[in-house]
Structure 1
């Protein structure tokens, strides 16, 4: 017993295996950082999702309000259009004019139709680029049920990182205004990383927690379905929002509407909503189980005095108010869940709040990038340099916004699907960065992104002509131009230093 007491319990692991596992561990950490950066950057831009929808189709008519009869005519046209096209959508959504989206749009899986103030069809109203951006943010272009859960779990990890970082570095609060910008690249990055983390801590927590809550709600439904409902997610949703068949049967008891104009039920429902909820204007209408005997009409109405995105009101076959989902006056958990979207997306307080969310979102994205840079710089200081990983990471960081712009330009020009363009281009740019010195990437990255952004603006102007000067397109175009100018200035600044600094901005190891 004594002779074997000093022997290790585990057999000796070959050094090559250990080295391989360490590399795998680093690559996994880099991958998680990359996904976190993708989510944070696209989230910062997606704060302006409504503005991007309008910019993407600037010629669509806009109006402050629309009559119930005009909405009825629009739905009647859409119903006939869907029937003639042979489409079979399960759900059809009617977006009514609101301050954030002053348009009359009918949206379903196969098509998007735009209408004027009279309810007359004026052409397509699709905004695929905005969907491309938002779906990258909340689902990473994975199948919705999977991607939403994955991003929700990332939200949980982000909360853990924020809380853990604050607890692990108590000096970061005491040194909240310390910036050693002239003390070398690594120390400057550490200070900027920590200062942004401190200054934006409330925002970071709010965004991370709200994203985690929305994602975990999907996780809860996914877990509840097999455990409590024998794998039937429909039954799980029915337990939360009511059984569709039972609600439809209850709605039919009211009989047909008394009015005779097109889609009289919708006209009556909108008028009844205005009477019974005068302070809650409609945001959109949902026609679930479309064109079936069980078709249900619900209206999502805004509550300007509350943080909830909307309350959903259900209407019977005669257009009478039947029930609601309880986001406005239900239990506390429903009200909290109903408020998560506005809190997460900054969809309250107007353009000023959106600009603040955008700036803080960019700060969070920068925290993601500097976290990896600091790790690589510390490893280099210990004699373990990873120039290939550093260049790949820098290429990925700059390649992401550049490919967002290029994918958008190609879609506007030739309707090229943006998803494969973005992912294939980003992979090639990231891997290609292995052979590019870091000192060159410091100016090539921002310069290329500025060029791609100007390309997107140019293509948009050529495609839509005078319409880009309308209110719907001017704001986003001005923002994109300012962004390209700032990136070009950054690229020029870094280029002027590239000729005199050969080993990075401060000559420190780890930044070629």
Structure 2
């Protein structure tokens, strides 16, 4: 396709500048997002064994609830019944106690309850690891350590830049689309090779990136969209917990065994996983059921939900119920499902994992190309030494991605090594300490040296994951968790070691005036 040269040049400039502004943040979002594709098995892998007695059967759950509410009446305001028990859901019953500011922001202390052999209630506050939640927040906020309300609009702006980069990159590629579509020229021209890799990754994963860009904008400005909808169409209440409104005292709720049976009768393909009890308006009982259906996309990353009458088991709210939604709700859910990749089973999840890693690599190669292009422009303009801006950008291109990888790896290892001591705050402290230290190291050492050293350090951090699994022992995890988490970590560690070797060769054999050359002179000023 023939396009005017000036138009292609303009879009090339736009693509380069937009990419360099948003690329490092998008690397963090895509890498952390790829990790969260297996959030549930990751949480099972990281969570310590429960100290509670074995969970009572579902048939004995009414006895458990009655005993807990007698000892802890505050739990009646809202509690959960878990239908399957594992390290991520270690108890049949749980609830959260929160007061004041904690309650306003959805925080508080999580309690887990079981019945001791003598029938007395056991309650603990140590539960599943919070590392998976931390990585998910890291993904949502593109690595920004700010409050959610501040980080999300910034993420939305980055997503908009991301969309511009996609459009401008496609325009730049169109003139040579046919000749360069399957080209991957590996040789002495390293910049040409990276450009080919960048173009191939970008073009063949373009639908995935369009989905990510558009859905990220929806997530970032979710509240604003709903506020605007409420102003235009009125305040339609959507998908909350279903309360049973009755003039007289409500009848007793069905037992969980009966509720599960009623739900399966009404939605045969839906698998109930959690019963969430609460109080609706006027203090009447409310119930929503969380679960999944492999045939449909889900509103939350791992579950959909339905409002249920606790007295009859009838499904009375289907806004978030997979397979039973109206057109509007299904449309909104499709945005969430396309972003989360929670449809189609493990095949889609593995595809999203690979595409997420490829996306992170796409932004990394984009930064490499931008720095190389800037180096050539400076040389043509008569500059003998690299400017300070180019050296800083090159150092950040090495430090930020590798700092992110190492930080996530070490906080994952810490979750298993420290067990109950590894709080959300500790995971945050470990990650940002590693991330900022490695970024600072890159700025001090320069891109060429740091590229080798930090890639090797990130590989060692990745290997800490299976090493900690070995040290903790086999009683902690199941075989599936070992295969998924530890084997993937070993594969990524090998890839990082190969990257360190390639960076070493480039530093010693590449162009001497390049920021990637360890033999280049270190300028005293820019």
Name the TM-score, length of structure 1 as normaliser: 0.77
- Work out the CA distance in 2 between the residues paired with 1:413 and 1:154: 35
Give 1:20's aligned residue: none
Map 1:117-132; keep pairs closer than 5 Å: 124-132=126-134
Q: Indicate yes or no: 2:470 matched with 1:461.
A: yes
Gaps of 5+ in 2: 1-15, 97-107, 379-385, 518-526
Give 1:180's aligned residue: 185
- Work out the CA distance in 1 between the residues paired with 2:193 and 2:29: 25
Give 2:109's aligned residue: 110
Larger mean Cα displacement after TM superposition, 147-156 or 123-132: 147-156
Give 2:371's aligned residue: 376
Q: Indicate yes or no: 2:179 matched with 1:201.
A: no
- Work out the CA distance in 2 between the residues paired with 1:165 and 1:457: 39
Query: SS at the partner of 2:476?
Result: helix
Query: SS at the partner of 2:306?
Result: strand
Gaps of 5+ in 1: 1-25, 230-234, 258-262
Q: Indicate yes or no: 2:310 matched with 1:323.
A: no
Q: Displacement of 1:447 after TM fit?
A: 0.9
- Work out the CA distance in 1 between the residues paired with 2:359 and 2:503: 22
| Contact residue 184 and residue 508 of structure 1 kept, 8 A | no
Map 1:237-386; keep pairs closer than 5 Å: 239-241=237-239, 248=243, 250=245, 255-257=250-252, 264-289=254-279, 293-309=283-299, 311-327=304-320, 328-383=323-378, 385=387, 386=390
Q: Indicate yes or no: 2:41 matched with 1:51.
A: yes
Structure 2 CA distance for partners of 1:459 and 1:420, relative to 1, 3 Å? same
Map 1:76-87; keep pairs closer than 5 Å: 76=66, 79=69, 83=73
Query: SS at the partner of 2:311?
Result: coil
Out of 489, 500, 511, the residue aligned to residue 491 of structure 1 is 500
| Contact residue 215 and residue 336 of structure 2 kept, 8 A | yes
| Contact residue 395 and residue 442 of structure 2 kept, 8 A | yes
| Contact residue 47 and residue 345 of structure 1 kept, 8 A | yes
Out of 84, 89, 101, the residue aligned to residue 97 of structure 1 is 84
Larger mean Cα displacement after TM superposition, 190-199 or 269-278: 269-278
Q: Displacement of 1:27 after TM fit?
A: 11
Q: Displacement of 1:56 after TM fit?
A: 1.0
| Contact residue 377 and residue 511 of structure 1 kept, 8 A | no
- Work out the CA distance in 2 between the residues paired with 1:473 and 1:79: 38
| Contact residue 268 and residue 319 of structure 1 kept, 8 A | no
Out of 432, 440, 444, the residue aligned to residue 453 of structure 2 is 444
Structure 2 CA distance for partners of 1:319 and 1:444, relative to 1, 3 Å? farther
| Contact residue 90 and residue 289 of structure 1 kept, 8 A | yes
| Contact residue 52 and residue 130 of structure 1 kept, 8 A | yes
- Work out the CA distance in 2 between the residues paired with 1:122 and 1:464: 26
Structure 2 CA distance for partners of 1:207 and 1:389, relative to 1, 3 Å? closer
Q: Displacement of 1:452 after TM fit?
A: 0.9
Query: SS at the partner of 1:178?
Result: coil
Name the TM-score, length of structure 2 as normaliser: 0.75
| Contact residue 251 and residue 322 of structure 1 kept, 8 A | no
Map Cα deviations across residues 272-292 of structure 1 (whole Å, 9 max, x no partner). 212332332213222344999
